[in-house]
Structure 1
Amino acid sequence: MRRFLFGFVFSLSLLALASPGLAQKAGSKYVEDTTHGFEFKPLKEWAGIPVTAQLKASEVIARFSSEDLRIKLPNNSIAQGKAELYIFTFETPTAVTGGESGGLRSRAGGETRRPTIEEWIPRMFDFRDFKEEGLKDPIIEPEEEKLKKGLVARRAAYGANSPNGYRLVIDTWTVTLDDFDLVFLFVLPSQGDRDDKKWLRTFESSVKSLRLIEKVAGPKKVKEGASYEEQFAYHKAEAEKTPGWTAVETPSEQYIIKTSSDDDDFIDDVIDRLEASRRVFEQDFPPSKDIQHVSVVRVCKNQDEFSQYGNTRPGVAGYFNPGTTELVLYDNKERDRRETLAVMSHEAFHQYCYFLFDRSEAHRWFDEGHGDFYGCYEFKGKRAIPTAHMPGGLDRYQNAKTLVREDKHKPIFVHINYNHPQWQGQGPGNTSPYEQSWSIIYMLRMGTLGKVSKKVWKDEYEDIIPNYIRVLHEGYQEAYAEIRKTLEEELSSLPEGDKAAEIRAAIEAQLKRPRVGEERKQQIWKAAMEASWGQIDIEEFEENWKEFVLDHM
């Protein structure tokens, strides 16, 4: 199991931090989970945070977070972080035949019993000094607590250290029900012994508000090829499991917006730009077949919620997650909403390319350079206008000029052939790779439109991107065909019966989404580069590019 790095958001600023008293108040409103048949009152001012796919895989069904709290670090400086609540359901694993693995059974040591939260914590969180066995000096010894008539919980509280070295209080409540154990896990950055005790009493009041209610079957995950209406109904029900969240349809039926924003005008702007960007992508890179996938775009109402959801580092304005195919961003209304829309176009291009190349990868010069190129677009009515500028701090223009003027760029041949880690770390600054790739793409794209001076433009440059895309796509399609043929042969050779069922299911899953190995990918990349950049004088192009950036851009 991949561990969830417990990520408080740090800042040395103490502005607008919640006072301990306010943060400790019990809530007055019930939040219900009809799928699992319960409701309870979260703490006052605690926000619901959507559960990521990674957390769902760790049996988390709900997550809540406090406002910012003061945290005293080991060096006596003050930072800020949040208290959090994770709610789990642990079912009794089904007994399986020998040799099979996976699921709760293997995670709980191969026994057909429900795991305990004490076993789960060190596998999921990066807490220091928290062991699966031999927990020493618990803050609250494991004991049974009566919640109400007929409802009892096992409570235990422990101390641990965060990855940053400050003290944590971990309060656990396990309610054993017929179908599963319902577990409440509160994690509190220690506020000092006196205030910690107040917090523990408030956690207790929240759990003791628990009531069992009638279960209603939850939304069933839709299968590939389901209608837009079916997919939207599923995602809307999923979104609304988290208080304050919902889903919004888009006219093209190519996207579903999941959002916590209540600003309808802003969401309309998001949809307008998203769909206008998609039309440009399809015009510039027509898919060889219709892309049936409906893409999910998650719009958080602010940066704090965005950071909590994705556990992102400071400076990240949006991202595309290929594992879930979800695009995630936030409403940057505190600074400049134009930045939100530009980031969305950038990340939406990554999302589009993921399906354009059948979930395969291109070089970074291509995908990041184009992401910024489309982030610079202005949309006026039905007109899509490429420009050389992104709003605010996203702009690459001036830094690209500085990179060339000070001769700190990488040689073009080196830059375009970097693999992903090499590209990201090439320097000299964190954004330098983006600036160089964007300026290359900007020159190639504007030259194709006839808007680059003939002093620095040659007709053969117009073929670089089309040839790269063509050979890249052909290479992946050929590789996929070979992989599928091999898998189908393996499938046909399997014996009938239950013994081969697990292997059969694994092969069928690979047939749906075959993966190209690293060695074959490098062969495809090399062929695509030879068919495109290999057909021009790269040294001459570099001189022309430098002159373009300094004098013609």
Structure 2
Amino acid sequence: ELRIETQRLPGWYFLESPHYFLKTDIRATNRYRWRDLLAELELLRRAYVQLCPPLSSAFPVGVLCVFASRSQYQQYVPPLLKWSLGLWIPSRGELLISPTDNRRQIKWDEIRKVTFHEAFHQYLFYASGIRPVPVWFNEGHAMLVEVAQIDRARTRIRFPLNQRRQEILEKLIDKDRSGANLKALLKSSPQTFYQEYGREHRYALAWGLVYFLRKGNICYPGRGYDQWCPQIWAAILRKEDPNRVLDRLIEGISWDVFYSDLRDFWSRRSLVRRAERNPLIPRL
């Protein structure tokens, strides 16, 4: 059905991989780039599975729709989300990707990054059994994987620092000694998180928290930070309230200790460099 629908659209074509169906109207001479992207996405999906094991192995095919122009994308997405460069829309079952502008030059690195980010949202939607996931958890992980680097042998994957988010984060945490911004983030609804005012700060905080819990945990042995994300994810799969699980984890060491560790980590380059060497996922 997807093939037939795409073939009926003038100028559109499709490519397939085991878990994804990509359709686009960007020049067909770029097919090789799409094949490379799908190959990387299949490998990255293995990382998604290791980070957040799915409730069930039964998954629908992930549909990706890549537009040739920014204006096409903005006409297709909901009005309040025209600012975005990519969007996972569960009601349509489509992951939408926009070029950064309407010029003919395609910025492939940007498309790759946005695809990796939005594909994680798509994966988490199905992996959770369509259960609610805290927005900080969802976006924080999506920003972790959007900068993923896969080696030439395609057996190893790295999750380097997201420099764009890091610059914002370090300034934000330096000014906020009590952690008021982080407390607000942890209770944010999607509607609050995506509001224009302060949005970039919330993105940076979500990324910084997930990076700290997933990779920075090696700098704080005995705290148990490496188990926080897995426990929150397990609660989601059990239909428990993930916010209550997080509250219990924080209470176990106290907010002051937790936030002090987080601030300490992001203020010390030596700790950040050590965390960078943490492979997180040794092999795909």
Q: TM-score range by the shorter chain?
A: 0.7 to 0.9
How much has 1:373 moved relative to structure 2? 0.6
Q: Deviations over 1:436-484 (max 9, x none)?
A: 0100101111135x3xx34xx54321221111111121126xxxxxxxx
Q: Does 1:435 align with 2:200?
A: no
Q: Distance in 1 between matches of 2:141 and 2:202?
A: 13
Report the Cα distance in structure 1 between the residues aligned to 2:263 and 2:234, rounded to whole angstroms: 27
Paired with 1:426 and 1:329, the residues of 2 have a C-alpha distance of: 20
Which residue in the other structure is 1:235 paired with? 2
Paired residue for 1:260?
A: 25
Give the whole-Å Cα distance in 2 for the aligned partners of 1:351 and 1:362. Answer: 12
Aligned-residue identity in percent: 21
Q: Is contact 1:468-1:531 (8 Å) kept?
A: no
TM-score scaled by length of structure 2: 0.83
Deviations 1:108-151 (A, max 9, x none): xxxxxxxxxxxxxxxxxxxxxxxxxxxxxxxxxxxxxxxxxxxx
What is the CA–CA distance in structure 1 between the aligned matches of 2:107 and 2:196, rounded to whole Å?
A: 29
Letter in 1 for 2:180: K
Aligned letter for 1:386?
F
**1:317 lines up with 2:85 in the alignment:** yes
8 Å contact 1:426–1:433 — kept in the other structure? no
Distance 1:417 1:346 in 2: 22
Q: 2:150 aligns with which of 379, 387, 391?
A: 379
In the aligned structure 2, how far is the partner of 1:532 from the partner of 1:362? 17
Distance in 1 of aligned mates of 2:37 and 2:180:
36
Distance in 1 between residues matched to 2:249 and 2:111, nearest whole Å:
33
Q: Please state how far the C-alpha of 1:237 moved relative to its aligned partner.
A: 0.8
Which letter maps to 1:288? L
Secondary structure at 1:475's aligned position in 2? coil
1:145-544, aligned counterparts within 5 Å? 234-250=1-17, 253-261=18-26, 262=28, 263-310=30-77, 314-332=82-100, 334=105, 336-381=107-152, 382=154, 383-389=156-162, 395-407=164-176, 410-425=180-195, 427=197, 429-448=198-217, 450=218, 453-454=219-220, 458-475=222-239, 524-544=241-261
Cα contact 2:117–2:145 (8 A) shared by 1: yes
Counterparts of 2:49 and 2:121 in 1: how far apart (Å)? Answer: 13
Say which is worse superposed, 309-318 or 361-370, in terms of deviation: 309-318
Mapped contact 2:85–2:99 kept (Cα < 8 A):
no
For residues 232 and 196 of structure 2, the distance between their equivalents in structure 1, rounded to whole angstroms, comes to 23
Task: Work out the CA distance in 2 between the residues paired with 1:542 and 1:426.
Answer: 26
What's the secondary structure of 1:319's corresponding residue?
A: strand
AA matched with 2:46: R
User: 2:131·2:239 contact (CA, 8 Å) conserved in 1?
Assistant: no
1:464–1:533 Cα contact (<8 Å) kept: no
Please say which structure displays the higher CA radius of gyration: 1
* Alpha-carbon distance between aligned partners in 2 of 1:412 and 1:430, rounded to the nearest angstrom: 13
User: CA 1:355 to 1:533, structure 2 compared with 1: closer, same or farther past 3 Å?
Assistant: farther
Residue 343 of structure 1: CA displacement? Answer: 1.1
Question: Aligned AA for 2:237?
Answer: H
Q: How many residues align?
A: 261
Secondary structure (helix, strand or coil) at the match of 2:180 reads: coil
Shift, 1:536, TM fit: 3.2
Q: Separation in 1 of the partners of 2:184 and 2:77?
A: 33
CA shift for structure 1 position 311: 5.3
Distance 1:426 1:244 in 2: 35
Q: Indicate if the aligned counterparts of 2:169 and 2:205 stay in contact, CA closer than 8 A.
A: yes
Residue 534 to residue 466, structure 1, CA distance change in 2 (3 Å): farther
Distance in 1, matches of 2:242 and 2:162, equals: 30
> 1: distance between equivalents of 2:224 and 2:84?
37
Q: Which runs of 5+ in 2 are unaligned?
A: 273-284
* 1:217 matched residue in structure 2: none
Cα deviations across residues 314-348 of structure 1 (Å, max 9, x unaligned)? 53110000112210103447363212111111111
Structure 1 pair 356/242, CA: closer, same or farther in 2 (3 Å)? same
Give the number of the structure whose residues are more often strand, by fraction.
1
* AA in 2 matched with 1:404: I
Q: Cα–Cα, structure 1 residues 411 and 389, in superposed 2: closer, same or farther, change >3 Å?
A: closer
Gaps of 5+ in 1: 1-233, 477-523
Partners of 2:73 and 2:127 lie apart in 1 by 27
2:250–2:258 contact (8 Å) kept in structure 1? no
Contact 2:55/2:128 (CA < 8 Å) preserved in 1?
no
Higher relative contact order (CA 8 A, sep 6+): 2
The alignment's C-alpha RMSD in Å is 2.3
Q: Tell me if the contact between 1:319 and 1:329 (Cα under 8 Å) persists in the aligned partners.
A: yes
Distance in 2, matches of 1:281 and 1:308, equals 30
Matching residue's letter, 1:340? I
Q: How far apart, CA to CA, are the structure 2 residues paired with 1:541 and 1:410?
A: 13
